[in-house]
Amino acid sequence: MKIIETEIAGLLIIEPKVFADDRGYFFESYNEDAWRKAGFPDIDFIQDNEARSTKGVIRGLHYQLAPYSQSKLVRVIHGKVFDVAVDLRKGSPTFGKWFGTELSAENKRQFFVPKGFAHGYSVLSGEAVFAYKCDDYYHPEAERGIALDDPDLGIDWKVTVNPTLISEKDKQHPLFKDAEINFKVFV
């Protein structure tokens, strides 16, 4: 696998080694031994999730407060999304900054989002099937979010559909400056 560092420490893009021929393709989407040998943090993924969405859907920006925060390894099984993570680690030089990358069934890229980040994505194709691994379970009492259209963040979701499709719950998230954040200081 090839690991690509982003401009925000901890956010990583992973390009798996894909074996393709006339029959199709094969790749390992996750191999714990290879993960450890590549120097990834000591993370035990314990839950897999999958979501199907249609073009113009934006999901996020979601996170769970500590001690229930989650690291995620995300990928797209079908279609194409623009995936975004926002740094919520107080004291980080990139606190409040976001990074986005395109994930698709074609490019087979994965995005590692560690604890201390809000996460969301927009669907760019007709539909998309999005899958991700988490290192903690969902705890509804710890769930929080940030407004998708926060002008201080200025995220370009790359969505060309008008209107976009956003859940009522996601429409109620506070602005970044008003969001409850309790992550440890970045070291």
DSSP 8-state secondary structure symbol assigned to residue 167: -
Q: Which long-range contacts (CB under 8 A, 24 or more apart) does 168-172 make?
A: 169/145, 170/58, 170/59, 170/60, 170/145
Q: Which residues contact 158 (CB under 8 A, 6 or more apart)?
A: 82, 100, 122, 124
Active site amino acids: 62, 132
Residue 86 tokens read as: 């926002």
